[in-house]
Chains A and B, each alone.
Chain A
């Protein structure tokens, strides 16, 4: 009974916990594969940059419509897309590399966002935008988050082959005349969309955590794109579930609790996972015949 009370009852008892759990599930299903592809494309930090880039759009949405979910999402999505597009354009038409142009544009965007929030809102609003409130996810937000997860899986199924080849052998994609730039842009739009989904629940600062930590942890468990994506999704959802319980029982803020659980799972993964972890390195087994 104690197990039931600790692990299941909070979700049975409280609607806000159930909604939060469903939101975590949706975020994991969409963000898991997206995060893995970011890691494989060596763009782990681009997710971080884009999560900051979303801020001014969300702030402008907030200015216009108050704490409106749709307005802030739309604003955040547009701001993220603008930064992604400008960075991509500068990288393609000048010799500058994409990580550098991303750094430039997201910093501009972040400063703009902080400026808007601090002149037009109060500190409580800023805290809300930065840290989110997964325990206050309403039905409309939930619908948005679930829709984004669905759309993400569908879009990944469509552009998956192109994405994988663009990571593995971009020269081949160019040589056969495939539209690598379009695939890349659609993918960045997916990243922004999932960050927007995440910032409702976890805030702009934490949203990227549930996308990247499970993805980098998955590398110590799986070795193919599909299994990496699945592992990442499972780790993300496990973090969400455990994080919500920790926050409920210990009275801690839910966003950081979820991300810290994900961080803990990452540490467990690189210490003890079956592929390339510290454990594998430190406990060498006898070599094979061939």
Chain B
């Protein structure tokens, strides 16, 4: 079984303080993994590490031949300027970045693909609308349409269904499940444990330290969740240098 990402004793963090502490394991090619844990548990940092926005403070991350544009990454919404004067169609067309880059023109076939992607997320006919006029849920659908167009073998989702209504999250979740069915690798940070139990074969419970990682039914057990809640959200300015694995 080949791995999309292999982590060997990896620590990610900021200013030498670990946010993900000594994580070892791998995300198999074609696996669909939910990452759960309390706030401040390092879930977003883990995704940022996988995409390469954060470099390991220690340990080794292997991306096993994945190129940067093989990975589609959906960050938490706050980082996007939704008041920017750009149309829905142009936003979706950005999904062609891997082929078009900075300079190449958009072809008619690519435009057709983007139109179909908008149809697939239930936003047919929205192409000319400015993104500023969309609701949060509609905007999330647009970002999913962009990921459809990106057509990447690996997809990282950071709390994709936050502040999204039940209908929209059900629609979008169906797309994620379909991606899994097509053999893509999916890693998603989620809070809704029922959703995880029903849809995600694998789960990683994390609370800065890894708590449990494996088949969802095995991993999502009361003692693991209790353990995760117990772990302090500690940021100690005078923390000692971590010696684990050194001595």
Contacts and interface: CB of A to CB of B under 8 A. Distances in A.
Interface size class of A (residues with CB under 8 A): 20 to 34
Interface of B: 51, 53, 68-69, 71-73, 75, 79-81, 84-87, 91, 94, 97-98, 101-103, 130
A-B pairs, 3 with minimum CB distance: A177-B68, A168-B84, A175-B73
A228 interface: yes
A164 B86 contact: yes
- Chain B contact residues: over half helix, strand or loop, or mixed? mixed
A175 B81 contact: no
Contacts of A127: none
Interface string A142-172: 0000000000000000110110110111111
Nearest to A158: B103
A168 B102 contact: no
Interface string A169-185: 11110111111000100
Interface string A16-46: 0000000000000000000000001000000
B101 A178 contact: yes
A40 B85 contact: yes
A223 interface: yes
A161 B94 CA distance: 9
Contact of B86 (A168, A175, A179, A183): A168
Given A161-B103, A171-B80, A176-B98, 7 more contacts: A165-B94, A167-B81, A169-B79, A175-B71, A175-B73, A178-B102, A224-B87
A64 interface: no
Nearest to A223: B85
Contacts, number: 59
Nearest to A168: B84
B101 to A, nearest CB: 7
A162 B100 CA distance: 11
A177 B69 contact: yes
A225 interface: yes
A176 to B, nearest CB: 5
B103 A168 contact: no
A63 to B, nearest CB: 40
30 contacts: A158-B103, A159-B102, A161-B102, A162-B102, A164-B86, A165-B94, A167-B81, A167-B84, A168-B81, A168-B84, A168-B91, A169-B94, A170-B79, A171-B80, A172-B94, A172-B97, A174-B53, A175-B51, A175-B53, A175-B68, A175-B73, A175-B75, A176-B68, A177-B68, A178-B97, A183-B102, A223-B85, A223-B130, A224-B86, A225-B86
Contacts of B75: 171, 175
A163 to B, nearest CB: 10
Nearest to A163: B102
A223 B130 CA distance: 9
A266 to B, nearest CB: 19
Interface of A: 40, 158-159, 161-162, 164-165, 167-172, 174-179, 183, 223-225, 228
Contacts of A162: 102
A179 to B, nearest CB: 8
Contacts of B69: 176-177
Contacts of B71: 175
A15 B123 CA distance: 58
A168 B87 CA distance: 11
B132 to A, nearest CB: 9
A123 to B, nearest CB: 45
A165 B96 CA distance: 13
Contact of B81 (A161, A169, A224, A228): A169
Contacts of B72: 175
A179 B102 CA distance: 9
Contacts of A170: 79
A40 B101 CA distance: 22
A111 B71 CA distance: 48
Given A168-B80, A175-B71, A228 B85 contact: yes
Contacts of A174: 53
Contacts of A176: 68-69, 97-98
Nearest to A227: B85
A279 B79 CA distance: 32
Contact of B85 (A169, A178, A183, A225): A225
A161 to B, nearest CB: 6
A161 B96 CA distance: 12
Nearest to B69: A176
A176 B146 CA distance: 13
